[in-house]
Amino acid sequence: KAGVTQTPRYLIKTRGQQVTLSCSPISGHRSVSWYQQTPGQGLQFLFEYFSETQRNKGNFPGRFSGRQFSNSRSEMNVSTLELGDSALYLCASSSLRSAQETQYFGPGTRLLVL
């Protein structure tokens, strides 16, 4: 079974631009979560989507948004990019067959904002 895939793997943008990252979950997984990883703040939860609905959101400004499609694929968007948005963005999927389900991570998209 194929794992979680994320595209693109690397991105370079300039301040003020916007960016869209894509995540395809493991087949059959309906929950997709996004995390931001930076050297200063570590791994932080952005949001979770299930059945095209955002169920949970972390403490990030409104510039960070996402959505999920009917095939469970998810995108996240960051508008008006700031230097501090440079990070590794990780997507994780879960089957949600139980409350203790494991999240499986993709390889991440590394975003550099200049």
Partner 1 sequence: GDSVTQMEGPVTLSEEAFLTINCTYTATGYPSLFWYVQYPGEGLQLLLKATKADDKGSNKGFEATYRKETTSFHLEKGSVQVSDSAVYFCALSENTGFQKLVFGTGTRLLVSP
Contacting positions for partner 1 (CB under 8 A): 4, 6, 31, 33, 35, 42-45, 48, 50, 55-56, 58, 90, 92, 94, 96, 99-108
Least gap, CB of 107 to partner 1 (angstroms): 4
The CA distance from 52 to 31, in Å, is 9
Beta carbon nearer to partner 1, 35 or 64: 35
Cβ atoms of 74 and 66 within 8 Å: the answer is yes
Least gap, CB of 55 to partner 1 (angstroms): 6
Cβ atoms of 77 and 68 within 8 Å: the answer is no
Least gap, CB of 84 to partner 1 (angstroms): 18
Radius of gyration of the chain (CA): 13
